[in-house]
Structures are given as structure tokens and as C-alpha cells.
Amino acid sequence: MRKTYLYRAKINKKTEANCNQWLEICRTLYNLALEQRIDAYKKYGKSISCISQQNQLVELKEAFPEFKVVGSQVLQDVIERLDRAYKAFFLRIKQRNGKAGFPRFKSKNRYDSFTLKQAGWKLEGKYLYIKNIGRLKLFLSKPILGDIKTVTIRRSSSGKWFVSFSCDNVPVRKFASTNTSIGIDVGIKSFCVDSDGNQIENPKYLKKSLKLLRKRQRSLSRKVRGSNRRYDARLLVAKCHEKVSNQRKDFLHKVANSYIKNNQTIYIEEINIKGMMRNRHLSRSIADSSWGMFFNFLLYKAEEADRVVVKVTPNGTSQICSGCGEKVPKSLSVRVHQCPFCNLVLDRDHNASLNILRVGQTRQALSTQRVFA
Ligand SMILES: [Zn+2]
């Protein structure tokens, strides 16, 4: 199994200056390579391949010796990033997926990481040594398992440094085996409600941090462009952003872990988040509760632990009575499900999660029958 481990890193001024220099060189290369591709297309109607640009790196280093400081694989990776951006762009055009967004030139704040592959680094205990850069001290909150394939150094917008290790052959995590299944309905009022009737609230501290973030954003918008005060305000906003994002991730990890630990099969709704974003009233709460990220956590944690996550097409899960199967229409503002047919009274989201569980189990049973037929 593949897994990425992320750690905060502490570095001294000199190492930091070197990291910043590498970022700047990588950014320059990215922009040069992008310019070359655009030129070739405009002038000759030709596209340049990733390999061909990578092959030109030797020549580039001869002409501009400053590129020699950065490891060859790191520079190759820059070209691969650009290539991925191109491929993603053409895929979006093919799928006619909203605005296609041509790959952009990167400004200073927009280029914040570089990646090493097998060469040019060494990990000794909590110290990561990078050739031509120096030593980074890692806060190894959890051990690195498996074989390290790539090492990525990232500068956050508030100026902190992070290192992530992408590993292969990471052993599967073992939880006690269980046969239980659960349906989860992500909500608007609370974060989610499951078919066991548990309601998980959005944490209060998150709300508090979000409030502070909005306050700081307003203060930033009042500062004069280019001023020192604006710079300070921007840093405060970035710090707050990071805090909110960390708190949210932390919360989502905890919720996802507990569901994975206690259930063999987890049923969730297939949600079209992009479609929902158009509905502006809903978008705020969706963004706040980060359902997409939560589902991703569930999916990869399930793979890690040999559990199963099944996505169920939402077919009136909130409108159908989980007790008798009759349709009980209600608007978004109605929080309680009251069935006039079987007199069932339940929290709206609890009713929906029971439907998600039932629909998922029925569908799975059907597909198993097909396998045996
Ligand atoms: Zn009913």
C-alpha cells in the first residue's frame, strides 16, 4: 500500500535560505518550461514532450550554472509537474468540465515545494540531510513505514516548513475484525449522523477559529496595498488559515478513524459537491464541514485497514421513510422526519443514514447474487 507521511520541520537560517533558493530556481525552471511550450505551440503549432524538456536540462545547466545547485531529479520533477498540469488541462477540456484553466506562470508565493526522489538525501533518526541544502530537524510524530519513494519539502504560506515522505509497501493496519455495517449521512446542522443514531457535532473551536479568520480577513482588506501593515496582516491571515485547516483535518481524521475502527462496511452518499456549490446557501456549510475531505479520509483509511466503503447514489434518502419505505416529502428546513403512514418519528438525518445503510446493503446483496448466478 502507498501512504504519505507529513511532518513539521525545524531548520536554521542558512538551511532556510538554501531551501528558498531551490524553490526560486524550481519556479524559474517551471516558468521557462511553460514559456517554451507556449512558444512552440504559437510559432510552430507543435507540442513539446516531458522527456524532451527533461533532456534539455543538461544544456540549461551548462548555460546557467546556478541551476547546478539543485539536484537533477528535483529539476526533472519540476518538468513532470508542468506535464501533469498540461495533462489535467486537456482532460478538463475533453470532459468539458467547467472552465478548463490553462496552466499558469507561477508567482513567488505560488511555488512552494520541491520533490526529491532516490538521490541527494539521507534520513538519520529525526534528521533529514539534503545535499547542497543542509539539515532539517523533523518532528516525527509517528514512525515512517514502508519504502520511501519521494521526499517533498514544502513552505507554508505563513513560512513554516514541512516534509512529506511518500512510501510504498506500507503494511496494512490491523483492527479487530468485525461484521458491523453503518450508514453515514453528512449533514448541515451537525457534521454527520449515523444509522446507529450517533450525532457528531462540528467542533466549537473550529467555529471560533473561523470567526477569528473572518475578522482578520476583513482587517487585511482594509490595509493599503504594498504597505508593511498589509504584509503583517497577510501573515496573520495565513497563520489563522493554517490553524483552521489543521484543526479541521484533525477533527476529520478522528471521526474517520473511529468509523473505520468499529465497522467493516461503511455506506456513504455519493455527493456531487461541485453541483452543490452552485447553490450558494448550502456552499458555506459544505465548505465548513469538508465532506469531500472526510470521504477521502474514509476511503484511504479503509484501504489501509482492509475495510470497505461503499458509495450509495442518493435517491431521495432524506424523503423516504426508513421504517415503511413510503415517500414523506419535506423541505430542507424540516429537521424531523414524521411518517404519517407508520408514525415513525426520527431526526431527519438519522432517517437518511438508515436509508443509506439499507440501499447500500440491498445493492451489495444484488451484486453478490450476480457474482454467484
Ligand atoms: Zn413510515
pLDDT digits (tens, 9 = 90+) for 330-349: 988 888 999 999 999 999 99
Q: Are 344 and 322 in contact (CB under 8 A)?
A: yes
pTM recorded for the entire structure: 0.72
Q: Determine the average pLDDT of the residues in 287-292.
A: 70
User: Which residues are 165's β-sheet partners?
Assistant: 5, 151
24 is catalytic: no
What confidence score (pLDDT) does residue 86 get? 92
Per-residue pLDDT at 373 exceeds 50: no
What confidence score (pLDDT) does residue 276 get? 60
What confidence score (pLDDT) does residue 314 get? 78
Give the chain's radius of gyration (CA, Å). Answer: 25
Query: Residue 120: which region, alpha, beta or left (left: phi > 0; alpha: psi -120 to 50)?
Result: left
The rounded distance, in Å, linking the Cα atoms of 265 and 50 is 42
User: What is the overall mean pLDDT for the chain?
Assistant: 89
What confidence score (pLDDT) does residue 242 get? 86
- 132 vs 363, which has greater pLDDT? 132
Per-residue pLDDT at 284 exceeds 80: no
pLDDT tens-place string over residues 20-76: 999 999 999 999 999 999 999 999 988 899 999 999 999 999 999 999 999 999 999
64 contacts: CB under 8 Å, gap ≥ 6: none
250 is catalytic: no
Per-residue pLDDT at 164 exceeds 90: yes
DSSP codes of every residue in 126-153: TEEEETTTEEEEE--SS---SEEEEEEE
What confidence score (pLDDT) does residue 280 get? 56
66 is catalytic: no
Residue of 83, 269, 304, 347 with catalytic role = 269
Residue of 77, 83, 185, 347 with catalytic role = 185
**Span from the CA of 272 to the centroid of ligand 1 (angstroms):** 27
